[in-house]
Amino acid sequence: MAQSQFSLEGQIALVTGGGRGIGNGIAQSLARAGADVVIADYTLELAETGAQAITALGRRSAAIQVDVRKEDSVKAMVEAVVKQFGRIDIAMNNAGIVSLGGVEELSVEMWDDVLDINLRGVFLCCKHQIGVMRKQKYGRIINTASIAGKVGFPGLCHYSASKFGVIGMTNAIAKEVAKDGITVNALCPGIVGTGMWRGETGLSGKWALPGESEEASWERHQQIFLPQGEAQTPEDMGQMVVYLACAPHVTGQALAVDGGFSL
């Protein structure tokens, strides 16, 4: 049978925040397309959960504990992948957090937490992955941004700042490394029913109207924000990432998978 044009057979991928949610779905999509996938996450337990899902798909994997805010930790993560697998073809810099607060009530700590993980974390990952990829003369970096990186949302000025930052940084780095066989793109998920949205501590719980259940709030937000009226899935994100991992001439872009919400 002819190999699919979206085959990642023989490639080594690294996914941060790959133990659950969107990162976990993306990691499994990469594995289904043929890649061996290393899972890095904030706790070793989460990383191991993600890695087990990859080996269950018949691909090689490894679990690495990382705190993307810390340069030593990110550097050690990159070195560990190269030591065990010899290269990094695809880097999915996906780890991120959200919190809610209007600009006047937002504490400096909340601002710093979100910017440190979502923006500084992606910068540190790119910084340490690019040296490896330059030597290979090949690499695909995909940074998770958001529709909140294309449009501002009230109560999320810090989160939007981090994700607008990811998109700008992605475009700048893409130009720096364009002659080295490395592409750098941003993925902009719309609304995905992970822990970030679901449950009482997720956005749909926090944005519920008085007396409204979390489930009803989740349904309402899909209708408010998404022209298609239904949430995206981690697998939808995985499809886009597999495409970006295969595309040689798409770089510096911020690609939304959001059911028609944004430009």
Ligand X SMILES: NC(=O)c1ccc[n+]([C@@H]2O[C@H](COP(=O)([O-])OP(=O)(O)OC[C@H]3O[C@@H](n4cnc5c(N)ncnc54)[C@H](O)[C@@H]3O)[C@@H](O)[C@H]2O)c1
For residue 196, state whether it binds ligand X (rule: CB under 6 A).
yes
**Residue numbers annotated as active site:** 159
21 touches 196 (CB < 8 A) = yes
Helix (H) or strand (E) holding 27: helix 21-32
DSSP annotation of 86: S
Give the largest Cα separation in the chain, rounded: 60
The C-alpha atoms of residue 182 and residue 175 are separated, in whole angstroms, by 10
The letter for the amino acid at 120 is: R
Interface region with ligand X, contact rule CB under 6 A, candidates 130-138, 192-200, 217-225, 248-256: 192-200
One of 11, 12, 15, 23 touching ligand X (CB under 6 A): 23
118 touches 145 (CB < 8 A) = no
One of 11, 28, 185, 194 touching ligand X (CB under 6 A): 194
59 touches 29 (CB < 8 A) = no
Interface region with ligand X, contact rule CB under 6 A, candidates 63-71, 104-112, 150-158, 211-219: 63-71
For residue 202, state whether it binds ligand X (rule: CB under 6 A).
no
One of 63, 77, 117, 226 touching ligand X (CB under 6 A): 117
Of the pair 173, 192, the CB lying nearest ligand X is at 192
Please tell me whether residue 37 adopts helix, strand or coil conformation: strand
* Residue owning tokens 């910017």: 115
For residue 28, state whether it binds ligand X (rule: CB under 6 A).
no
One of 46, 62, 244, 257 touching ligand X (CB under 6 A): 46
Contacts with ligand X by CB under 6 A lie at 16-17, 19-23, 41-42, 46, 66-69, 94-98, 117, 144, 146, 189, 191-192, 194-197
